[in-house]
Amino acid sequence: SSAESFGKQVKHEIIGIDPGAGIMKATNKAIEAYGLSDWKLIEGSGAAMTATLAKDIKNKKPIIITGWTPHWMFSKYDLKYLDDPKKVYGDAEEIHTIARKGLKEDDPTAYEFLDRFEWTSDEMGEIMTAIEEGAKPEDAAKKWADEHADRVNEWIKDLKPVNGNTLKLSYVAWDSEIASTNLLQYVLQDKLGYKVTALQVEAGPMWTGVANGDVDATAAAWLPLTHADYMEKFKDKVDDLGANMTGVKTGLVVPSYVDISSIEDLKK
């Protein structure tokens, strides 16, 4: 009933994603900072979270999830971030590309391309939405690259292609990172002559792989806040190539039909 608090309606459960994600750590901090000790953060995956979201929205049920932008869910559904007056989820967040130490000397073509790579959330959104609508990730990435040759050419201009050098990327199965990593893989392979392996792993191994040199690079480092603890641990062992996207965001997200607007409202 409408007299029931939002917390009771959702059994005080926040639908989370994989435990290694920075947004999970931020959410545990939010539970602490906002005094939400009766709330539980449910672990799962990005795919399980969006499946639960789809089901509850279809039934117009209340739900609260850990969300981030860019993500196709914001174009598919009417959603809102809860205000975060304590800024537990940070402020000006970016996605960075990080490379292993030594890649610059060992493989200047790949390094220079990865260093130049930078795009917008709208551009990523085109690939993400195509995948959500059923395209294979590699096909969606190829189609995007072929239709945006001007953009791709800015990133590869005057770079000397190689002859089948191998290159390893790591990423987590977050929808945003599936889009970016498939695009990088396509350009590195089809335009620059690399044989690319894209390793889908958890967030911890994604960072560790780059730090210990098993992996050449990842385009999935969310900084300065979301992956702050990974960066703190590995800052001397990785090469931060800077932002490949700015203006990204994480937080707690609810459907617009839910009648709360701030994380503080979860106390009621």
Q: Which residues contact ligand PBE by CB under 6 A?
A: 17, 21-23, 68, 174, 176-177, 203, 222, 226, 250
Rounded to the nearest whole angstrom, what is the least distance from the CB of residue 159 to ligand PBE in the complex?
27
Rounded Cα distance between 26 and 252, Å, is 10
Place of tokens 């009648």: 259
* Shortest spacing between CB 5 and ligand PBE, in angstroms: 27
Beta carbon nearer to ligand PBE, 69 or 109 = 69
Smaller CB separation from ligand PBE, 44 or 62: 44
SS3 content of the chain, % helix, strand, coil (to 5): 45, 25, 35
Choice between 94 and 264, CB closer to ligand PBE: 94
Distances (CA, A) of 160 to 36, 41, 117, 185, 192: 55, 48, 16, 17, 7
C-beta of residue 240 within 8 angstroms of C-beta of residue 96: yes
Question: Could you tell me how far CA 165 lies from the centroid of its own chain?
Answer: 27
* Closest separation in Å from C-beta 9 to ligand PBE: 25
Nearest distance from C-beta of residue 102 to ligand PBE, angstroms: 26
Of 170 and 176, nearer to ligand PBE (C-beta) is 176
Number of DSSP helices (H) and strands (E) in the chain, helices first? 12, 9
Nearest approach, Cβ of 143 to ligand PBE (angstroms)? 23
Residue 166, beta-bridge partner list: 195
Choice between 18 and 107, CB closer to ligand PBE: 18
Cα separation, 97 vs 202, in Å, equals 17
